[in-house]
Structure 1
Amino acid sequence: MRRKQLWIVIAALIFINCLTIAFFLSKMNEVTGSGFNEEVVATVGKSNISRQEWLNELESRYGKDVLKDMIDQKVIKEMAAKYKIKVSNEDVEREYRILQTTYSSPSENKKTTEKKWKEHIRNSLLQEEILTRDVKVSEKEMQAYYEANKELFNIPAAYHLSHIIVKSSEEAEKAMKELSQGSSFSALAMERSIEEFSANEGGDIGYLMEGEERYPSEYLQAAKKLKEGTWSDPIKVELGFAIVKLEGKMKGEKYSFKDVKQQIRREIALEQMKTSASTTTFWEEAKVDWFYGNKDAN
């Protein structure tokens, strides 16, 4: 289960990166003419780098992976339609809820990000259903798996936090005063926080749950007492003093066997399969013909 969640995170990140790269590559097909090809995108001394040179390099480095990913997504949809396979919105929402607390990308547009996550999760679940459609898993096996792994289906409450860290109590009090006078928490974090990674994101540190060790336990203790949109008094931490803001909260969920039965079936079935779980298994059936040749599909 945890392995699967990690795989989804990694795959989703790759997917989003591929979409970004594909956007740049698509420009070659959208615009024609030497003016576009020779447009300068960078200068180094007396040398130039043209847009066409840049796009050619992108295609050379990432073109094959982007194209393969695009083909895989279409193959999944084709096979799902052929075998009349669907996944429920409840399954997608559950995986997305878990994913939200595992990976946070505050710098991206939230609605766009959510749409991309859910699209990829649905495709991933469809892929698993297609690959395991002929694998038989008994009710007894699934029930035993659930009983042995109940803690994996009991998701604790998660708190979406931002923070500002400054070196001294005096600086913390000054920041508190500015916040009380209406200063933006994110702007103040970018300007004052000495924790560079989160400062670049306006102080956003994503979701924290019980048992995590990324940040001091005092963060969660403070978060539980806060209302959404409010911040804590200064907290003594290793780097100095932190002010923690509660951006939002997701309540805990305890999933029943019925809720996760299909998920468990997929997990057991994938473990039982002797071949690797890959969409390229269906390329021939889907009649894929691509620029790089089917012998290079893997």
Structure 2
Amino acid sequence: MGKKQLWMIIAALVFINCLTVAFFLTRVNEVNGLAANDEAVATVGKKEISRQAWLNELEAKYGKDVLKEMVNQKVIEEMAAKYNIKVSDQDVGREYRILQTTYNTFSQKNHQNETKWKEQIRSSLLLEEILTKDVSVSNRELKRYYTKNKNLFSVPAAYHLSHIVVKTKKEAETAAKELAHGSSFSAMAMERSLEEFSANEGGDIGYISEGDESFPKQYITAAKKLKTKAVSKPIKVKEGYALLKLDGKISGKSYSYNEVKDQIRRQIALEQMKTPASASILWDEAKVNWFYGDKDPN
């Protein structure tokens, strides 16, 4: 599996984990400030669902996974300190850039959590460094890998777009005039766009790049001509007509061998491992004891 495809999977898993952890812990923190947990969080007719019953259900379904995620984070921090392993801001920034340009649901809402995303990336890179710290790969092998897989270290130009899709050209032209007179693109997308998924996000479809098959080819063509925050003329699409807004752009970049040789060493070493790259491998060394008691956290 290529590095880009791998990061798409990692991004999706990290996002889901973040949501789960945030949801569960937020509710627990709310309860810590309450005198009693029998407050009703919902009623069905005359029957109530208490806050405590709700939290018990959350713990039963997500508690172990959330705790494991927290333990793994602490394990990575402990082992990184033990072996004096660090990850540069440049490495984190490069992976974040790749994440933005290859994960096209990386919307403005997610982008606003840039710090949290970079923390997750740093943690993942630290884990890779810890697990592969004793692996030596020759310069010849590193350079051969780089030459063979240069496409993995080239980030294409990516355009952060929002769109409004309507049925007819007349509707699109009317919408364009309203936008030109100051109407909110986001509000209009939520109100009028036929594409429901993005409409719920104010029309935001995240970053797309050349060759992205998730959206019409005309989108990239139009995006290249737009200035940031500008709106396109109506574009004919399968569902009708679309208006595009360019929210931002990331320029393309090809990384040199020296910039990615450490990443390549980790990649080769990880491919040679017979077990998944998981912090769980380090639990014994970190002397982990946890609420669930079992030795195998999986």
Report the TM-score, using the length of structure 2 for normalisation.
0.95
Which residue does 2:210 correspond to in 1? 210
- What's the CA shift string for 1:124-147, capped at 9, x where partnerless? 000000001111111111100000
Q: Is the Cα contact below 8 Å between 2:165 and 2:242 reproduced in 1?
A: yes
For the residue of structure 2 that corresponds to 1:245, the secondary structure is strand
The amino acid that maps onto 1:273 is M
Q: Is the Cα contact below 8 Å between 1:21 and 1:66 reproduced in 2?
A: no
Distance 1:141 1:86 in 2: 24
The amino acid that maps onto 2:200 is N
CA gap of 1:27–1:73, structure 2 versus 1, over 3 A, is: same
Distance 1:292 1:219 in 2: 51
- What's the CA shift string for 1:131-165, capped at 9, x where partnerless? 01111111111100000011111111000001111
Which residue does 2:175 correspond to in 1? 175
For the residue of structure 1 that corresponds to 2:188, the secondary structure is helix
Which residue does 1:21 correspond to in 2? 23
Distance 2:189 2:70 in 1: 39
Q: Is the Cα contact below 8 Å between 2:100 and 2:207 reproduced in 1?
A: yes
CA gap of 1:153–1:19, structure 2 versus 1, over 3 A, is: same
Distance 1:224 1:137 in 2: 41
Aligned sequence identity (%): 60
Report the TM-score, using the length of structure 1 for normalisation.
0.95
Which residue does 1:50 correspond to in 2? 50
Distance 1:290 1:239 in 2: 53
Q: Which runs of 5+ in 2 are unaligned?
A: none
Which residue does 1:106 correspond to in 2? 107
Which residue does 2:200 correspond to in 1? 200
For the residue of structure 2 that corresponds to 1:285, the secondary structure is helix
Which residue does 2:285 correspond to in 1? 285
CA gap of 1:169–1:29, structure 2 versus 1, over 3 A, is: closer
Q: Is the Cα contact below 8 Å between 2:4 and 2:102 reproduced in 1?
A: no
Kindly report which structure 2 residues correspond to 1:232-247, keeping only aligned pairs within 5 A, or say none.
232-247=232-247
Which residue does 1:231 correspond to in 2? 231
Distance 1:213 1:110 in 2: 22
Distance 2:296 2:40 in 1: 34
Deviation, 1:2, is 3.0
Which residue does 1:33 correspond to in 2? 35
Distance 1:172 1:3 in 2: 36
Distance 2:8 2:235 in 1: 32
Which residue does 2:88 correspond to in 1? 88
Deviation, 1:29, is 6.5
Deviation, 1:7, is 3.6
Distance 1:232 1:119 in 2: 36
For the residue of structure 2 that corresponds to 1:295, the secondary structure is coil
Kindly report which structure 2 residues correspond to 1:125-144, keeping only aligned pairs within 5 A, or say none.
125-144=125-144
Distance 2:171 2:31 in 1: 54
Distance 1:173 1:219 in 2: 17
Which residue does 1:161 correspond to in 2? 161
Q: Which runs of 5+ in 1 are unaligned?
A: none
CA gap of 1:188–1:131, structure 2 versus 1, over 3 A, is: same
- What's the CA shift string for 1:208-233, capped at 9, x where partnerless? 10111111111111111111000111
Kindly report which structure 2 residues correspond to 1:268-279, keeping only aligned pairs within 5 A, or say none.
268-279=268-279
Distance 1:183 1:71 in 2: 48
Q: Is the Cα contact below 8 Å between 1:161 and 1:207 reproduced in 2?
A: yes
Distance 1:156 1:280 in 2: 35
For the residue of structure 2 that corresponds to 1:133, the secondary structure is coil
Q: Is the Cα contact below 8 Å between 2:101 and 2:156 reproduced in 1?
A: no
Distance 1:225 1:16 in 2: 36
- What's the CA shift string for 1:237-269, capped at 9, x where partnerless? 100010111110000011000111111000000
Distance 1:210 1:139 in 2: 33
Q: Is the Cα contact below 8 Å between 1:190 and 1:203 reproduced in 2?
A: yes
Deviates more, 1:8-17 or 1:201-210: 8-17
Distance 1:18 1:77 in 2: 21
Distance 1:209 1:180 in 2: 27
For the residue of structure 1 that corresponds to 2:286, the secondary structure is coil
Tell me the matched-pair count: 295
The amino acid that maps onto 1:158 is A
- What's the CA shift string for 1:75-130, capped at 9, x where partnerless? 0000000001011100000000111123334363643x111110000000000000
Distance 2:30 2:164 in 1: 43
Q: Is the Cα contact below 8 Å between 1:38 and 1:50 reproduced in 2?
A: yes
